[in-house]
Each structure stands twice: as C-alpha cells, then as structure tokens.
Amino acid sequence: MRRRRVSRVATISMHTSPLDQPGTGDAGGMNVYIVESAKRLAHLGVEVEIFTRATARDLPPVTELAPGVLVRHLTAGPYEEMERSELPSQLCAFLSGVLRTEAMYDPGRYDVIHSHYWLSGQVGWLAKERWGVPLVHTMHTMAKVKNLLLAQGDKPEPKARVVGEEQVVQVADRLVANTVDEARELIDLYGAVEERVAVVNPGVNLTVFQPASQGAARRRLGLPQDAHVLLFVGRIQPLKAPDVLLRAASRMLIDDPSLRERLVVVCVGGPSGNGLARPSLLTELAAELGIPDVVRLVPPAPQEELADWYRAASVTVVPSYSESFGLVALESQACGTPVAAAAVGGLRTAVRDGVSGLLVDGHDPAQWAQALRRFLVSPRWRDSMSAGARTHAAAFGWQATASRLVDVYAGAIANLHKTPIALNF
C-alpha cells in the first residue's frame, strides 16, 4: 500500500501546555513527550502545531517552540490554572478555538490529529469528523488502570472520565501505547481493536541526559562527596508515592543508625493533583518520621539541572502506584544512575530488572528499605547496575519514537476510509 506523506500534524494537549515546567501542576512526562517528539518530527520534515489552553492573558496566540513546531494558545475558561475536574466544562470553548484556527486556512491544512489524554481526545474526535482526517490518540494514563492501583487515601477517577476514555478508544483510528503492557490494557480493559493499537516506546534526550562526573555534580548541587543520595523526581502526589521513599529511609536509619551521617534523601518536584490538598505533606512526614535532617526538598528543575541531580544520586527511586512508562527512570539510567522502581505498568519496560536497576513488588517501606540498602552497601554491584543502566537507556532515543509515529500517522491516513467505525454508545 502506497502511503501519503505526512506534512503537518495537529497535536492537541488541552489540559497542560508543552511550555510548562515538568514536575509541578499538571506538567509531567506527557509534556516532555509532546515537546521532544514534536522537535524530532520537525527534524523529519513534519510540521507540528500544538493546541493548548491559554493560562495567562499575556500569552501570545502563537509561540514557536522550535523550527517547525508552533504552540497555539486558545482561550477556554479563565486565564489561570483550573482543576482538571473543571476542564470538561471548557471542551466546547476549546474545540471552537481549534476549529476556528483551521478555518483560517485552505482546506486540508492538517493531515492527522494526535491527541494526548482523554480530554484532548474528545476534542480530537469532533475535529476529525469536521476535517475528515484520522485521529491518533495517546492515553498517557488510564482511569481504569489507576483505579485498580490506587494509593492509600487517593481518590478514584470519576465515571465521566471512564466513559470519555471509552468513547475516544472507540473512535480513534489509531491508539498509541507506550508499551506492550499498555497495549494489552487498552485491549482488555477498554475493548480496543487490536489492529488499531500501535506500540511506540517514548524516548530520552540522550544529549542532555548522559553520564558525567558524580563528584562535579555533587559540588554544583552542594551535596557531600561521600553521601548516600536517594533521589525522587516527579510531582508530589499520592500516585507517585514519594512518601514510600521517606518511610523506607526512616526504616533504613532504624536498622542502621550509622547511615544518618551520610544519608541524603532528595525530592525534586512540586505538589500536583490530589497532592495540592496537602502541599506540605513531605515536610510534615519527614518531621513525623524524625528524619527532617536528611530530607531535602527541591523545586522542579530544568533538564540540564535535573541531569545533575541524576548524576549526583546513588540511586533514583520511582515508587509510583501506576506509570504508563516512567520517563524519570529512563532519564536517570541515561545519566548512568540505576533505578529502584515499582514493578508496575511501563516501569517494567523502562527498567531492566537486575541489569539497569531493581523492580520492587508492592509498596511496603521495609521491602523498599532492603532494596535501597543494597545500592549503598554493594558498590561493585551498583557499578554493574550503572553500566547496565547506560546501555539500556541508549536504546531509547526520541528520534526512533518520532520515526515510529510517522509510520503510525501514515498508516492511519491510508486506512481512514477503508473500514467505517461503528459507534455503539
């Protein structure tokens, strides 16, 4: 089958802007994915226009993120951050902005729509019907999966989101899954048609995230050269489970009080989601556990500084209850720092158990303490994990992700009119 060349993609990211700093608010791995894949698509000659909601009155209508990549800020609701639960009320306003933008140009401006997260998928669904182009959708997270793996005290995702996701799965021409496990969840939990599901692994910026001197990184960050550094990077919310790291560190100090002289627990990130209800949670928990002297809380950092944190760490800890992939784990490994991660979701792909790090079953602090202690007391073993981490991460580059996405787009275009989609709502 001869495939039409893909010239321009309309990327929809309603609830979070690619210009936002990952690690706080709603900005996270999805933001990194959209930015990095868009830049690499542009390198391949595919223009990308990213539609997102304006969160400030003084934002320009259009911003060039990189050559060939535009960010379009659309007015939908107040010029401020909104709770994600409030955003469905702005779907019509946001969709109107998307359709008005396309109407300013000759027909056929966009070859394909790529929506990210279910809210954007709802917009993409209607835009696809209006423009007569295929819809490619990436979930990033799924309500049914999150509800099966809730952290203690976390709230389940609402029924409205579950229904919205089911609708997007049924109408999308292609569904992009980060891993084989996610593809199976789409098929088993959402009834996705297997032929429409494509597995495309996310990547890592191997230019920014690369090995360098641990000692130099520690000097720049003000960390002792002989420290045992346990690092958490991500949004501070129950789903990401930074509390598991603090509880594990407390257990380690109970088991071996001499560690206190050298142990440093670093959490890089800001409150997000349900974590906004208790923004001082980690400070309070550190005090409750009697470890405020070893805990260091750091605001979200740009990529270059973040790379230094990875290099400075003895091990990066990713204890999430659910992860569609786990870019943090991949970034850390690219810097040569092994990872201890929960054996859930995409982390089973992002971390090669026993080679580039360890996968830990469950969230028992005692079990995590045992796993983390191994990185500290077995330097030769850790060095082996470090070498494995570098090798494992080197296989994941954003250029490969972009090339695979182009294939998915072209396939969706070629098959758009071959098989009508039956809607059964």
The response to whether 190 counts as a known ligand-binding position is: no
The response to whether 116 counts as a known ligand-binding position is: no
Contact indicator for 146, 239 with CB cutoff of 8 Å: yes
The response to whether 323 counts as a known ligand-binding position is: yes
The response to whether 392 counts as a known ligand-binding position is: no
The response to whether 310 counts as a known ligand-binding position is: yes
The response to whether 15 counts as a known ligand-binding position is: yes
The response to whether 134 counts as a known ligand-binding position is: no
The response to whether 29 counts as a known ligand-binding position is: yes
The response to whether 26 counts as a known ligand-binding position is: yes
The response to whether 79 counts as a known ligand-binding position is: no
3-state secondary structure the chain: CCCCCCCEEEEECCCCCCCCCCCCCCCCHHHHHHHHHHHHHHHCCCEEEEEEECCCCCCCCEEEEECCEEEEEECCCCCCCCCHHHHHHHHHHHHHHHHHHHHCCCCCCCCEEEEECHHHHHHHHHHHHHHCCCEEEECCCCHHHHHHCCCCCCCCCCHHHHHHHHHHHHHCCEEEECCHHHHHHHHHHHCCCHHHEEECCCCECCCCCCCCCHHHHHHHHCCCCCCEEEEEECCECHHHCHHHHHHHHHHHHHHCHHHHHCEEEEEECCECHHHHHCCCHHHHHHHHHCCCCCEEEECCCCHHHHHHHHHHCCEEEECCCCCCCCHHHHHHHHCCCCEEEECCCCHHHHCCECCCEEEECCCCHHHHHHHHHHHHHCHHHHHHHHHHHHHHHCCCEHHHHHHHHHHHHHHHHHHCCCCCCCCCC
The response to whether 331 counts as a known ligand-binding position is: yes
The response to whether 84 counts as a known ligand-binding position is: yes
Annotated binding residues for Mg(2+), written as ranges, equal 310-311, 313, 337
Annotated binding residues, written as ranges, equal 15, 21-22, 26-31, 84, 117, 141, 161, 235, 240, 310-311, 313, 323, 331, 337
Annotated binding residues for UDP-N-acetyl-alpha-D-glucosamine, written as ranges, equal 21-22, 29, 235, 240, 323, 331
Annotated binding residues for 1D-myo-inositol 3-phosphate, written as ranges, equal 15, 26-31, 84, 117, 141, 161
